[in-house]
Amino acid sequence: MSTPEPVIEIRGLHKSYGALDVLKGVDISAKRGDVVSLIGSSGSGKSTLLRCANLLEESQAGDILFKGEPVIWKGKGAGRHPGDARQVLRIRTNLSMVFQQFNLWAHMTILQNVMEAPLTVLGRDRAEVEAAARAYLDKVGIADKCDVYPAQLSGGQQQRAAIARALCMEPEALLFDEPTSALDPELEQEVIKVIKDLATEGRTMLIVTHDMKLAADVSDHVVFLHQGLIEEEGSPEKLFGSPRSERLRGFLSATHSA
C-alpha cells in the first residue's frame, strides 16, 4: 500500500535575517490527519518555520511542497522569492493560520470576521458562507457572539473566533502559532479544548506551542527545535517519556519547573 502524500512538506529549509541564521536546514512533513507540534525555547525558529510554511516569510534555500506540488521560486539566496502569485494565494488559502494575537478586525462583528475571507478571497456565495460561519462559531462554542465586536469578547473567546475564521476557509491544514500564550490560564483551557476536538476529528495541524501537555495530548509527532535545527523528534511518548538529547531533557525540566 502506498504511503499517503504529505499535505505539507518542508525539506532543507534555511531562513536568515541578515547575518542571523534562524533556520539552518529543517525537514518537516505532515500527512493528512497528522498533528505535528513544534516545541523549543524562544528564538529556536518555531514560529519562523510556520510562517515560512505559509509563505508569509521568504526563505533563502530549501523546498516547500503542498500536496506534492513544490513552491516555484525565483532568484537565489537573499533575493529568492515565490515566483507564482496565484500559487502563493492557493497555498495560503489552504493553510489557514491562527495567530498568537488573534488578528481580528476590530470594526467588524465576529460573524463578519469569520465570513470575510471566504467571501472576498474565495468568492463563495454569501448565504452559504454565513451558514458555514455560524456553524463554525457554534463548533467553537461562541454561536451567541455573532453580532458583537472583538473588543467585547474575552481573549479566549477572541481566539476561538479566530479558529472559526480559519476553519471557514475549509483549509487542507491549520497552522497554530502559540495559540494560547496570550491567554490567562482559565481562558487557555477554552482554546485547548477546541484544538483537542479538532485533533480528534482528524484535521491536519501544525502547532507551535509552549504547552507541553497540549503537545503530548494532541500530537502524532513532536519536533524539538534548538537554534534553528531539529535536535530531536518522534512520537510524544518517546520525546516526553524518554528524551535522548541532553538539551531536550533540560528544556523539559525547565518547562515543568516553570
Q: Is residue 217 one of the residues assigned to a domain?
A: yes
CATH number for the domain spanning 69: value is: 3.40.50.300
Q: Residue 1 falls within a domain, yes or no?
A: no
Is residue 222 assigned to a domain?
yes
The answer to whether residue 53 is domain-embedded is yes
Q: How many domains does the chain have?
A: 1
d(CA 53, CA 6): 13
Residue 212 falls inside a structural domain: yes
Residue type, 5: E
What does the DSSP assignment read for 172-214?
A: SEEEEESTTTTS-HHHHHHHHHHHHHHHHTT--EEEE-S-HHH
Q: Reduced to 3 states, what is the DSSP secondary structure of residue 109?
A: coil
Q: By three-state DSSP, how is residue 132 classified?
A: helix
Distance, CA of 257 to chain centre: 26
The answer to whether the Cα torsion of 80, 92, 33, 69 is positive or negative is negative
Rounded Cα gap, residues 202 and 60, in angstroms: 33
Per-residue pLDDT of the chain (258 residues; tens, 9 = 90+): 456 789 999 999 999 999 999 999 999 999 999 999 999 999 899 999 999 999 999 999 999 999 999 999 999 999 999 999 999 999 999 999 999 888 999 999 999 999 999 999 999 999 999 999 999 999 999 999 999 999 999 999 999 999 999 999 999 999 999 999 888 888 899 999 999 999 999 999 999 999 999 999 999 999 999 999 999 999 999 999 999 999 999 999 998 765
**Residue numbers of the domain that contains 90:** 6-257
Task: Tell me whether residue 189 is in a domain.
Answer: yes
Rounded to 10°, the helix 126-139/110-120 angle is 130
